[in-house]
Amino acid sequence: MNTLTRLLTQTRRLASTAVCLAVLATTAAPVAASPASADDLAATERYLRDYMERTRAPGLAYAVIRGDETLQQGAWGVDGDGQPMTVHTPFMLGSTSKSFTALAVAQLVESGRVHLDAPATTYVPWLRLGAADTARTVTVRHLLTHTSGLPQVWSTDLTDRYDNHPGALTRSVRDLATLRPIAPVGQTYEYSDANYMILGALVESVTGDTFGGYLRRHVLDPLRMTHSAATADEARVISIPAGHRYYLGRPQRFAAPFDTAGVPYGFLAASLDDLSHYAVAQLGGGRFGDTRILSPEGTKQMHTGTADTGHGTYGFGWKNSTLDGVGTRIVWHAGATPDSFTHLVLAPDANLAVIVMTNIYGLPMDAPLSAGAFNVARILHGGTPATATEDPIHTWALGGLLAVAAALLVMLGWSVTRALRTRRHRTTLPARTRTRTIVTTACWVGGCAAVAATATWLVPSFWKGAGLAKLQLWAPDVGHAIRAVVVLSAALALTRLGISVYDSFRTRRPGAPAPTTAPLGTPAPTTAPLGTPARYAATQPAAPR
């Protein structure tokens, strides 16, 4: 019995010791650093200073948000008008506007006024998309997730119209009647501004309000977004400053006009402070302070990707992917106008949001500009920034166009100089060279036409068929280089054609005597009096000088 008692006592002591060691081990174990520590925030600021320098952004604004708390924010540099940047400086949001449009539609879905799987024509009866029955097969869900099969619309006839007259959005959507799907409805993800143009018209049709008016009353005002604009009048009130475009790699001031017709897909304006309120509502399941703009279920549905993009998924106005190098799920959207760039990244699992806004944009710098918010999110999760480089297509296209333009200029100068030099010493052109001249001129004109056509149609196709007008708006140096090639090609073709026509008028008729050219210094021939016999005249001495 005593032996048993001793064993039990020792067992209790060992158990007690084990518990104590476990507690001590737990207490002594290092606690993993939570995202957005003080060191992370300091690293974030250092990174963004370097990012601003590398992208040559004249102005930048950023914020790091956790839950409903802004952990860090800043505004550096100047706007396009030379004024210091502040957290209240308005930016054009670009395609980040799409998440606001999706939010407006989600509100109508929650109120029972719109059904996700109903055809779009249920709410926009006059909608036409190519074939007569196409619009009837496209649902609201297809539009939200970019699975309608509609292509991206780069034509300035359809987007970036800068139409601020009443009914602008309706007119732009009616003009989509010529747009034909490039994929079966509901089967393929194809990012297209046309989808959100239609959704904007749907909001107007269902509510009887303008899209900007609805957004102001049901989204912007409830979120206290006081430095935002959803209409041209609001844009004038908040005085959106000019931004910048890249030109030969350097910032160039540019003020993109406000576009009422484009608000649903890319022309909403807001400040950093305003967008921070929006990010808080997204992290809070649709709640900002005491205001709820959408239910938690509705917010989650918007953030949940369903359409495979090839690099993640697309939900309702939001992209979903995994942050490389960290493995964290992110919900995000970036957007650009010709003179500004905005990127909003949510990390729902960490309850974090990152906003980076710059007042410069250019197609070749899309990847380096997009890297900013992604890299801040990486830093906040203990990762290291990834490197993004300028689009090489832009460099090669611009270099090639400038080389062609220089070659055309040299050939133009050579053609003019040679024509002037040869005409100074020759007054007629032998008739036998006429055919050769015609063939040569045809080759010159045909070659110039081919060069101009290649520059006008082939080069823009590198950017998904942007078209010359659109390319000049978004990559002005390439656009101007294309115009220079076209003008020089036309000038060279016209010069060669003009030389050929001039020569044809001076071509000697068949059978006419060939002219003689006296050597330099030979006395001028005499002219015999009228009626003098030819043989007599030939023997007369020259008249005295």
Hey, what amino acid is at 500?
S
pLDDT of residue 324: 86
Query: Considering only 156-160, 348-352, 391-395, 526-530, which range has the smallest mean pLDDT?
Result: 526-530
Residue 15's pLDDT band, with cuts at 50, 70 and 90, is very low
Over residues 93-116, mean pLDDT: 98
Over residues 405-427, mean pLDDT: 79
379-382: long-range pairs with CB below 8 Å, 24+? 379/40, 379/43, 379/44, 379/47, 380/35, 380/36, 380/40, 380/41, 380/44, 380/64, 380/347, 380/350, 380/352, 380/354, 381/35, 381/323, 381/326, 381/328, 381/347, 381/350, 382/33, 382/35, 382/40, 382/326
Q: Is the pLDDT of residue 485 over 60?
A: yes
% of the chain exceeding 70 in pLDDT: 83
**Backbone conformation region of residue 224, classed left if phi is above 0, alpha if psi is from -120 to 50, else beta:** left
pLDDT of residue 10: 44
Q: Is the pLDDT of residue 435 over 80?
A: no
pLDDT of residue 312: 95
What are the residues facing 90 on neighbouring strands?
Answer: 271
Q: Is residue 385 within 8 Å of residue 378, measured between CB atoms?
A: yes
Q: Is the pLDDT of residue 31 over 50?
A: no
- The tens digit of pLDDT for each residue in 339-386 reads 999 999 999 999 999 999 999 999 999 999 999 999 999 999 999 999
Q: Which two three-digit tokens encode residue 65? A: 């948000």
- The tens digit of pLDDT for each residue in 193-233 reads 999 999 999 999 999 999 999 999 999 999 999 999 999 99
Q: Which two three-digit tokens encode residue 327? A: 């493995």
Q: In b/e form, how buried is each residue of 353-385, taking b as 16+ CB within 10 angstroms?
A: bbbbbbbbbbbbbbebbbbbbbbbbbbbbbbeb
Write the DSSP string, 246-280: EETTEEEEE-PPP-GGGTTTT--EEEHHHHHHHHH
Question: What is the length of the chain?
Answer: 545
The average confidence (pLDDT) of the chain is 86
Residue 147's pLDDT band, with cuts at 50, 70 and 90, is very high
If one compares 437 and 366, the residue with the highest pLDDT of the two is: 366
Query: Considering only 28-42, 218-232, 240-254, 490-504, which range has the smallest mean pLDDT?
Result: 28-42
Which residues, at least 6 apart from 526, have a Cβ–Cβ distance to it below 8 Å? 537, 540, 542, 543
pLDDT of residue 34: 58
Residue 14's pLDDT band, with cuts at 50, 70 and 90, is very low
CA 179 – CA 195 distance, rounded (Å) = 11
Q: Is the pLDDT of residue 296 over 60?
A: yes
Q: Is the pLDDT of residue 443 over 80?
A: yes
pLDDT of residue 171: 95
- The tens digit of pLDDT for each residue in 184-200 reads 999 999 999 999 999 99
Full-model pTM:
0.82
How far apart, in Å, are the Cα atoms of 404 and each of 96, 477, 489? 38, 15, 10
Q: Is residue 354 within 8 Å of residue 375, measured between CB atoms?
A: no
Over residues 153-168, mean pLDDT: 84
% of the chain exceeding 90 in pLDDT: 67
pLDDT of residue 498: 84
